[in-house]
Every structure is written in structure tokens, then in C-alpha cells.
Amino acid sequence: MCVTEEFESAARAITKFHYVDDYIDSCDTPQQAIILAKEVKKVHSRGGFHIHKWCSNHKEVVADLNGCAEQEEKEFYNNEEIHSFEIILDMQWSPSQDAFTYALRFDRLKRNIFKKNIVPTKREVLQVLMSVFDPMGFVSCIMMYFKILLQNIWRTKMGWDDELPPELYNQWNLWLSYLPLISQVPIPRLYFENGTPEDCSTQLHIFFDAGEEAYAALANFRIQFQGIITVCLVSAKSKVAPVRPLSIPRMELQSSLTGARLFRDIKAQHDIKFTETHLWTDSSVLAWLNGDPRNYQQFVMFRVAEISELPDVNHRRWVPSKHNIADVATSWTRGV
């Protein structure tokens, strides 16, 4: 009997939830987590790989997998140094809160450019941008402003070690006022606080928006369980506008394409049966989607065709800007 037949759940976990030498997974109960983790551990040990340093938001799982006695378990779980946070794929996770947080560390900087009256250089601005790792786009609405600032710096064609001119320095100070927000907001890891995915009615909502300087898309789950409705952020994507200007309708189309790809990725990565799926976009994009792609120019035709090929989309709807939550990431002048 091969390993995949003997340990079917473990084989699936290893192929789907391993990232280099890290194993990151989630189960409905502590007992399920312990059984699955032990199977994964056994499969790896057969190949000479021994997994250790287990961490969980549940003390029973930590104690069992790390082989702690009752007293050791108590000391281990109450150790603030261990359980203040864990680094998962360069993101900070708090087991006690079961939430993702952001630690702002700018180790590459040779001087403290966050002090008042210190004007950063182009090189230092780029170093700050590259120091904030946000693969899921949870803080896209803040980091988008910084990307716009960096693009404006590139347009000046200034040198790497030249200080920012007054206008761009004012934009830098504006962004600094938003910077503390990144580390203040915890992102809950758990989608379903009440019930399980099978017990809940779950809808997927994708919002798109675009402006002159940027476009963005974000995804939310709307979860209903016994009359209680919760909404949670799943992922977001944002990009600056291309250097070559595009019309606002075409920018809206770009944001819709980004959202369509986000929709496809979320469907592939989540074992959730959605009761409804909604795409919220601009009226011009809706008009294109309701037409025949072959009647449009190539720029519009290929993008409309890709968006139209999305499976299982129940509703495509228009949303006004004041109700569009993706608008926050594209409105530099209005701020957060």
C-alpha cells in the first residue's frame, strides 16, 4: 500500500499546505488537528524529515504534538516570549488572539527617516516600501498611497540618493500619518466564528474600483449562521496606474480583471461551497460584459473575454463609489 492510500488526508495536506519547510493548516477541532498533524509527521519521518516546533492557537494541540507533560504544558503555553507571536510566511500571527498583525521593522535603513524634518531619499523610500510584506493585501488601502508616492518620485527622474523635493516630501509626511494604522489593526484568521462552513450560508463578494492613479479589488465573505451575519476580509489586490495614461473606464476594466483573477484564486484555495457569488463593478464595465467581446478593440476584448469566462458567478452588479469599499485604496486625495 502506498503512502497516499494509507494517509490520504496527510498526503493532501503535504501537497497543498506545505510552503518550503513550513506546514500551515487548519482543522475544525483540536482532535482533528492532532490526528492530522501526527499523520503528516509520520509520513515525513519515513523520508528522514522530522517536523518539530509545533504551534497552535489551542494549548491541547501544542501539548500533544510537542510531547509536554501537564506542568510543562502550562509553562509552555503561558510563556509570553513564545506565544506573543509567530512568523508565518513573513507575516506575524498571534496564537493568543488568533489574528495576523504587522510588525513594522525597517532594519535596512541607515538613518531614522521617520523623525520630523528629515527628508528621505529615493533609495530610502523604496527600502521602506519593500520592508512591508503584505501578500494577502490586508493593508492595500494604506500601502497603495505609498506606491503612488514612489511612482511620482520615479517620474521626476531624480537620483537614488537625492532628497525628495518639497511637494513629494509633503506626500511622504501624509503617508507617515497613516503608517501607525498598519500595526494597530489585527486581522482575524478565523472566518467562521459561529458554526462550521457546512452550517453557514456563505456568499463571496468581490468589489472593484479605479481612479486616475490606481485601481484595486478586494474580496469579502458574507457569512450567515442562525440569523447572525458577519463579514470578513479575505484578500485584496491593488496596483498603481500605468505610466502611459488610460481612460477611467479602461482603468475600471483593469480593476475588474484583477478582481476576476482574485475570484478565481479564492475559489481554488478554499473548500467552501458558496451560496452566492457577487461581482460589484462600474457601469461601463457592466456594459462591456453584456456585449459581444468580438465587437470591441483588442484591449477591451481580451479582458472582457477573461472576465466573462469566470464560472459560478451569480450576479454582476453596479455599485456607487460612496458604497464601494475598494474606493478607499484608489482615492489618495480623500485619504483613509
pLDDT tens digits in sequence order for the chain, 336 residues long:
455 567 888 998 998 888 888 888 888 888 999 999 999 999 998 888 888 888 888 888 988 887 754 444 455 445 544 446 788 777 788 888 888 888 788 888 889 898 888 999 999 999 998 888 888 898 888 888 899 999 999 999 999 999 999 999 999 998 888 888 888 888 888 888 777 778 889 999 999 999 889 999 999 999 999 888 999 999 999 999 998 889 999 999 999 999 999 999 999 888 888 999 999 998 999 999 988 988 999 999 999 999 988 877 878 889 888 888 888 888 754 544
Closest CA to 272 of 220, 330, 196, 212: 196
DSSP codes joined into one string, 87-104: EETTEEEETTTTEEE---
Question: Which residues are registered as beta bridge partners of 215?
Answer: 210, 239
Q: Retrieve residue 64's grid coordinates.
A: 500533544
The count of residues in the chain is: 336
Cβ 144 vs Cβ 209: under 8 Å: no
Residue 280, SS3 per DSSP? strand
H-run or E-run covering 86? strand 86-88
Q: CA-to-CA distance for 321 and 206, rounded, in angstroms? A: 14
Residue entry with cell 464595465: 285
Cβ 243 vs Cβ 212: under 8 Å: no
Residue entry with cell 494604506: 142
Residues of the chain with CATH 3.30.420: 190-329
Cβ 262 vs Cβ 247: under 8 Å: no
Q: 304: buried, middle or exposed (CB in 10 Å: 19+, 13-18, 0-12)?
A: buried
* AA letter at 274: F
Q: Which fold has domain 190-329?
A: Nucleotidyltransferase; domain 5 (3.30.420)
H-run or E-run covering 218? strand 214-225
